[in-house]
Amino acid sequence: KPAPAAPPAVPSAAGITAPHQAVPNSTMRKVIARRLTEAKSTIPHFYVAVDVELDALLDLRARLNAASPAEGPDAFKLSVNDMLIKAAALTLRRVPKVNASYTEDATILYDDVDVSIAVSVPDGLITPILRNADRKSLREISAEARDLIARARAGKLKPQEFQGGSFSISNMGMFGVKEFSAIINPPQAAILAIAAGEKRAVVKGGAVAIATVMTVTLSVDHRVVDGALAAEWVSAFRAIVESPLSLVV
């Protein structure tokens, strides 16, 4: 009885001679590789970082969550990320020229603020979209984001739920990352990289104090967004986060 045929070998990369395994690239991984290579090779990125104090936002989050019913249809539990999504959406309304895309014939300024949120899935990354995020309440953003993330990880998103968007957010704060720069998600003109909040020494009124601070980095397409505009955007974002009542009024 002949032995069963061996599965076809996956070709190894040329020049790799050390012992290794070659894991076939999935369709998703190939699409990610193609799009990110396209983004870094065709979009002139530059980066603007700013430190943002989180204590007022954390206090507001605690008070809002404490006001939620313990259970039932009106119960909610806001995350910091929910509030930062809303802050970014409001910032895009205040500085709308960042809510844009570049084409050879024109700069596209989007009417709607549709925020793509980067979600890690078993074989890569996907960016479900919170449509009209600036018009939604924090509770609506929280419920919708939770649903989109769960269905993204289960592979149950519809194409229209992750294709498109006018701006992206990538949050790695839950991993304790101090700061990072994200690659733009074409054809969008910008992506915000959010790092971890941590206790840091800050100077207030000439004295040293302790505050919860996070570093955010805005990656922008220089064909659409110039330095002054990027600086205006991150300054407006910091102002909203540090005085967060505009998130609920």
- Residues serving a catalytic function are 222
Distance CA(202)–CA(242), nearest Å, equals 14
Q: 3-state DSSP call for residue 169?
A: strand
Closest-CA residue to 31 (of 124, 149, 104): 124
* ω into 187 cis (within 30 of 0): yes
Tally Cβ neighbours within 10 Å of residue 41.
7
Residue 194 · residue 216 · CB < 8 Å: yes
Residue 147 · residue 4 · CB < 8 Å: no
Question: Residues with Cβ < 8 Å from 2, sequence gap 6 or more?
Answer: none
Distance CA(184)–CA(225), nearest Å, equals 12
List the structure tokens of 184.
């733009």
Q: What does the H/E/C string look like for 105-162? A: CCEEECCCCCEEECEEECCEEECCEECCHHHCCHHHHHHHHHHHHHHHHCCCCCHHHC
Q: 3-state DSSP call for residue 98?
A: helix
Q: 3-state DSSP call for residue 240?
A: helix
